[in-house]
Structure formats: structure tokens, C-alpha cells
Structure 1
Amino acid sequence: MGNVVRGAMLCAAGLLATSAAADAQERAVLGTTPEGTKVETITLHDGHGMQATISTLGAALHALDVPDRNGKPGDVVLGDATLKATLDNPQYFGVIVGRFANRLAKGRFTLDGHAYQVPLNDGPNSLHGGKQGLDKVVWDVVEAKPDRATLRHVSPDGDQGFPGKLTVTATYTLEGNGTLAIEYRATTDKPTVVNLSNHTYWNLAGEGSGSAMDQELTIHGDAYTPVDATLIPTGEITPVAGTVFDFRSPKPIGRDVRDAGKEPQLALGRGYDHNWVISKTRAAKPREVARVHDPKSGRVMSLVSDQPGLQFYSGNFLDGTTVGKSGHLYRQGDAFVLEPQLFPDTPNQASFGPAAARLDPGKTYVNRIVYRFTTDKDAAAGR
């Protein structure tokens, strides 16, 4: 009888421990893929009104609740209303993009004399790692704490045409004081090319609130890389001074988008879909690369990174066919994307320094992206 009681107590203790762990991790099941793989979410808290929800599909930032100037939290990232919608029509909402973020011309690159071909999924080019990039796989959860989660995926040698077995981790951390940090790390067992970034669609007025084009953007870049008709960089580095690409002082995102017909570069992508040159090479230490202020909510987002490039996309291809998390349709300009990374097509562009994209065995690729949220009320109070 004593063994039965002891067994029952151990069982009860195990159930309590499981429950406590679940409460600490706040994990839930979104659904399953057609292959039967479970897709989970993990919710993180900083204890001060900031809450992040991470999805294991694409290691994605699924939601981020941030207080406005009045202290009212609101979700500031776009996302599909259902998992089925994401699987049926993936649009990179909040996901990691790679193995090589952005575009590779004709899906080709050469490394150590060997030519490699990546699937074409953006006209004549490869975008964000090919048809089955890192955004379309379900990642393993290796750590989940109340304020931090780490996910991992192993991309086998030859995956989407890339050489080397690539082991990638994505760590999300709520660091307090309105700060979300995302850190991507990767290692390989043979030479390869790597460029990872985050593809969150932001609207600081709140997901489903309508256009983000009145939100004021600053980009700390003196130049940008013009593109050809397929959105591949021409190799030029052009000063932003005197052009619609000058965001060195804050201006509404949509100020010049409405007149895209007057600027051939904007007409190519229906708006902004270009790389800003923050520096010619990776910075010695992280620095602010962009800042966004929403006059409506008062939210301010500072983006900190050590990457040389920043891809800015003004939500040009949101076309009113996507139902968002709040049930609203997403239309053109309802969000913006800021992706710290290497310059697009770096492996094929001599002027960009192709070696920057190389990762060798024994080395670790790191891209740490930090988002710091405040409000204009904080700024007025000198905080």
C-alpha cells in the first residue's frame, strides 16, 4: 500500500512539474503540417507589458505586443489568420529567411571553383534560399524559458542546392526595457555561403490598423544599391542625397511611394524594395541602423545591428487577399519590412566583397538584431 501511495505521489509530482514547466514556457499547438508535423507557439514575457509569440514554423515572430504612449499594449506585427493560410500561401510573415536572404541572380553562385544552382522562385532569380528555404520548415525547440526561446534546424548538405550541412539556431530574448533581441547563429561542415535575416512585417499602429505609410522612417545610410528590372543589384553604390531614397532625416514612408512613376527605381518594385548601404563591411559593434515613429500610437522602434546592409520593403505586394490575425485584409502599404543583412547577391558581386558571404567549418556565422521600443511620450519626458 505504501508503494501505491508513493507511486501516486510521484505521479502527482510529475504532473505538477509538467504543469509548472508548461506555465513557464506557455507553449501551444497551432496545428500540423500536411506531413503530420506539429507546429507550436511559445509565448515570452518581459514582465512590463511586452509579450512575444514565436512559431516553430520558420522560427517566426508570430506576434509582439508593445505598449503605446498611453501604456496600452498592441500587437505590431502582421501574420496570417490561420496556419492553413500560411502553408497554402507563405509570405514570409515574421520568419527567418535563408540560407541566403534576399536575391541571388539566376539562383547561381560559385565557391572554390564549383558552380551551384539554387531553385528559382522569384522570376529568373532565387529569393530567400529557394522554394523550400528555412522559413518553410518546422524548427526544433531546444530551450524555452519565460523570457527566452531557442529553436534549431539542421539543413542537410545539398539542401536547395547549397553545399554543407548547416546547423542554425534562432534565439528570441525579451531583455527588459522594451527590448527584443533575435540572434541567428550557423555552423557548417564544409565551405558554404550564408546570409540570414528576419522578415517581420511591422505596423507600429497595430496589426490590422490599416496603412503604415504615415509612419516616419529614418535609415542611417548615405547610399543604396540600385537594381535592374528583376530587382538584382547592378553593382553600383549610389548616394541617397537628393533622391527619394534619402531617409537620413525622418520622413513618412509613403511620401514618395505615391509618386513611384516619377522614379524608375520605385516603379520596378511598386515601391521600396532596396538595400541601403549602412557600411561597406560589417561594423565592429552594433549600432542603430534605422528608427521608426508612429505619430498615431506614439510607438518608436529603434533597430540595432552590425550588418552592412539594410533591406527596406514597403509592403508593396500586399494585395487585399490576405486575412490577418485580427480578421482584417492586408492591403498595399499596410506594413514595412526592415532586414539587416549582407547586400543582395553578394556572392556574385565583386564590388560587394563576395568573401563576406562565405562560412567555413570551424567558424560561426552570427547575426544579432535588436529592436528597442519606446514612445514619443518617453522622449518628451527625457527617458
Structure 2
Amino acid sequence: MSAHLQEKRLGYALVLGSLAALGPLCTDLYLPALPEMAGDLNTSTASAQLSLTAGLLGLGFGQLLFGPLSDRYGRMRPLLWSLALLLATSVWCAVAQDINQLIVARLLQGIAGAGGAVLSRAIARDLYNGHELTRFFALLMLVNGLAPIVAPVLGGAMLNWINWRGIFAVLAFVAILLFSFSSLKLHETLLPERRSQGGIFSMLGSVFSLLKHRPFMGLCLTQGFVMAGMFAYIGASPFVLQQIYHLSPQMFSLCFAINGIGLVISAQVSTRLSRRFGEMALVKAGLVIAAVASVALVIAASLNAPLVTLLVPLFFSVMVIGIIGPNAGSLAMQSQGKNAGSASALLGVCMFALGAIAVPVTGFGSMPALSMGLTILGCYAIAILMFVTLVRKNA
């Protein structure tokens, strides 16, 4: 690949990766400000956390809106609509006067953030195929994988100078920047002759047709349940590591960062291996590693093992997401061309909807570390089941 094409590819990865990172950015940036926000709005912690739930729901189901829209009207118009909505809703969050206003604004903000997530994958599918698509997905994960690591730390640092309203003002500024960069750096990648025809029922029909596509749905659910395991880890690990193992916030951030870096590195290595062994082989290998690591995690948690004994299988349980995620997502998207927007939407819905279910499940039981481990193991076990029954049997 020439230096010019490599530079162009990296430029696209940065812009599209930033769009894909809108989800975790909207979710994680304001987390350190939740207690302050609850006090300022005179509401309970549980009510304040509903704003997080609303954002996750918006991120999941908003992809069902922007995916089919992009198949009908092209990629750029829905993308710019979503960024304009993100700007408006971020301002609304910043000026909300009570928790009910904030929850509604957060739901709409999540829907807006979903546009960036679904369209970044759809644009990548328009531009690339095969191993190149897998490599590009890995670049997206490299950029996107840093967002959940950096966002909470950045949000906590920002609270030294601004309050929670200021954080949403920063998100509004981010929306302006991304609107500008998208307008300047991206171009329409879905030509008119390749767009789906018809109205809203035709767009919904493309989604329903994908639901009946067993190999695609198998890969979609495989990736979705693996990502649900990651959400279970994100939701439970602060309580497990800080309150059960008594790590300081700084040490917890270090552990969180190490696991995140492991995920990003595994994504990059797996894309190089995919050229030699193929994406399907790597998904199979990743699922085997996921099974072994999550079983070891449950054993360590059930025995109240020392911290290091818990952290090792936890690292591999998170790292394996970088192997399965890009390869399963690439295989799913490679099977779709004209319906790439709808396909990307279903991939996103599976990730966020299943993740939203997995997070509260980790709260059951009297042993938080064991609950986290069992939830991750359960998610990975269902992912293996989906792969075996829907993908391998229909390959």
C-alpha cells in the first residue's frame, strides 16, 4: 500500500473511529459526575443512574433508526443529522432543570450517538471488503477501545475545573468538531444506484430479512454476547476491585487500562493472523480462549482467591474480545452489501441491548466477584452456542 493510501486509510480510521467512540464517550465521560449531578438536581442516586440506562437504550435502538435510513438516503445525510441531534441534546443535558428532563435528553443523546456508531461501520463496509475490512475494523477498535479507558479519567479530571453541566457542554463542542471533520474529510460512499428503494416499510423489511439470515444472525449474536460479557465486566469491576479487593481509584484505573490495552493489542494481532488463518478460524480460537478464561475466572472468584489470581483470568476474559469482536463483525458485514446500514444497526443493537441486560445481572448474589464471573461465563457460553448452532451448521 502506498504512503498516500496508508495516510488516507489512517485518516478515515481516525474520523470513523471518533464517530464510533461517541457511544462510550457519551456513556463514560460523565460517570464521575453522577454523585454531584444527583445532589444538584435533588434526586436519588438510583434516579441519576436512570440517565445512564436511558443513554444505553438510545445507543442500542437508535441504530435501528440510522442504519436503515443510511441504506435509503446514503451515509452522509443521516450522519450529519445524527451529529446535529447530538449537539442539540448535549446542550439540553447541560441546561436540564430536573432529572426527568435529563433522562429524556439522555435518551435522545444516546440515539444521536448511535448514528456515529452504526454509520462508521457502514461506511467501512462500503469502502473495504475481506481482510481489508477486518483490518479496518481493528483500526476502529484501536481508536474506539481507548475511549472507555480515557473517558472516565478525563471526566474526573475535568471536574477539577467544571461541573457536570460543563461536561455536557464539552460533548456539544465535540459534536461541532465531528460535524466539521465529517463534512470535510468524508464523502458519500453509497452511490444512488446501490441504495434501497421504497419507504419506511421497505427499510424495516431489510431489517426483518436480516433477522431470517441465520449465519448473519449467528455472527451478530456471537459478537453481541461476547460484548455483553465486556459490559458485565465494566459494570461490576469497579465494585469488585475497589470495595472487595480494596484497590484505590488510581490502582483500579491502572487495572482497567491494562485490560483495555490488552484488548486493543489482541485486536491488532488478530487482524494480522486473519490473513493467514482466516477470520472464521480466529473466531473459533477466540471462543475457546473465552471459555477457558471465564471458567478460570469463576473458579478464582468462588475460592476468594488473591487479587493476582483473579486478575490473570480476568485479563484474558477481556483480551479475547479483541479477537472475536473484529473478526465476527467483519464476517457478518462481509455477507451484506446493499444492506450494510441495516446490518450494522443489528450488530449495534445486539451489543448495547444485551450489554444493558448483562450489567444488572452482575448485581445478583452475595459474592460480587463470583456474580461478575458467572455473568461473563454465561455470556460467553451463549455466544458459543449461537456460533455452533447458527453459524457452523449453516456455513
Q: TM-score range by the shorter chain?
A: under 0.3
Greater fraction of residues in helix:
2
Greater fraction of residues in strand:
1
Determine which structure has more spread, i.e. the larger CA radius of gyration: 1
The two structures have a TM-score, normalised by structure 2, of: 0.26
Q: Which has the higher contact order (CA 8 A, sep 6+)?
A: 2
The two structures have a TM-score, normalised by structure 1, of: 0.26
